[in-house]
Amino acid sequence: MIDVVAVVGNPRPGGRTTRVAQAVAARVAALGSGEVETIELADHAARMFDPSDPALGEVTTRVAGADVAVLASPTYKASFTGLLKAFLDRYTGDGLAGVVAVPVMLGGSPAHSLAPDTQLRPVLVELGAVVPTRSVYVVDTEMDRLEETLDRWWSGAEAVLRGCSVSLPPPMKILVTGGAGFVGSHTVVELLEAGHEVTILDDFSNSERSVVDRIGRITGKRPAVVEGDIRNPSALDSAVAGGYDAVFHFAARKSVAESVEEPLLYYQVNVTGTVNLLDAMSRHGVRTIVFSSSCTVYGDPQELPVTEDHPFGPAANPYGRTKQMMEHALMDLAAADPSWRIASLRYFNPVGAHPSGLIGEDPRGVPDNLMPYVTRVAAGRLPELRIFGNDYPTPDGTGVRDYVHVVDLARGHLAALDYVVGSSGYHAWNLGTGQGSSVLELVETFQRVTGRTVPYRFAPRRPGDVAATWADPSKAERELGWKAKHDLADMCRDAWRWESSR
The pLDDT tens digits of the residues spanning 238-274 come to: 999 989 999 999 999 988 889 999 999 999 999 999 9
Q: Which tens digits make up the pLDDT trace of 470-488? A: 999 999 999 998 999 899 9
> Which of 116, 132, 164 finishes a domain?
164
Assess whether 147 and 239 both reside in one domain: no
Question: Nearest-5° angle of CA 120, CA 124, CA 126?
Answer: 125
What's the pLDDT score for residue 366? 85
pTM for this predicted structure: 0.71
Assess whether 276 and 395 both reside in one domain: yes
Q: Which domain holds residue 152?
A: 4-164
Task: Choose among 206, 201, 177: nearest CA to 367.
Answer: 206
Q: Which tens digits make up the pLDDT trace of 274-331? A: 999 999 999 999 999 999 999 999 999 999 999 999 999 898 889 999 999 999 999 9
What's the pLDDT score for residue 56? 63
CATH code of the domain in which 228 resides: 3.40.50.720
Helix, strand, coil shares of the chain, percent, nearest 5, are 45, 20, 35
Assess whether 206 and 270 both reside in one domain: yes
Active site residues: 319
> Which of 145, 164, 183 finishes a domain?
164
CA–CA distances in Å: residue 490 to residues 35, 329, 408, 450: 17, 36, 11, 11
The per-residue b/e assignment along 10-44, b for 16 or more CB within 10 angstroms, e otherwise, is bbeeeebbbbbbbbbbebbbebbbbbbbbbbbeee
- Those residues of the chain that have pLDDT short of 70 are 1-2, 9-14, 32-33, 42-58, 74-86, 88-97, 103-145, 149, 152-170
Assess whether 215 and 345 both reside in one domain: yes
What's the pLDDT score for residue 165? 46
What's the pLDDT score for residue 8? 73
Assess whether 378 and 399 both reside in one domain: yes
CATH code of the domain in which 154 resides: 3.40.50.360
Identify whether the C-beta of residue 214 lies closer than 8 Å to the C-beta of residue 191.
no
- Residue 380's CB is within 10 A of a number of other CB atoms, namely 8
- Structurally, the chain folds into a number of domains equal to 2
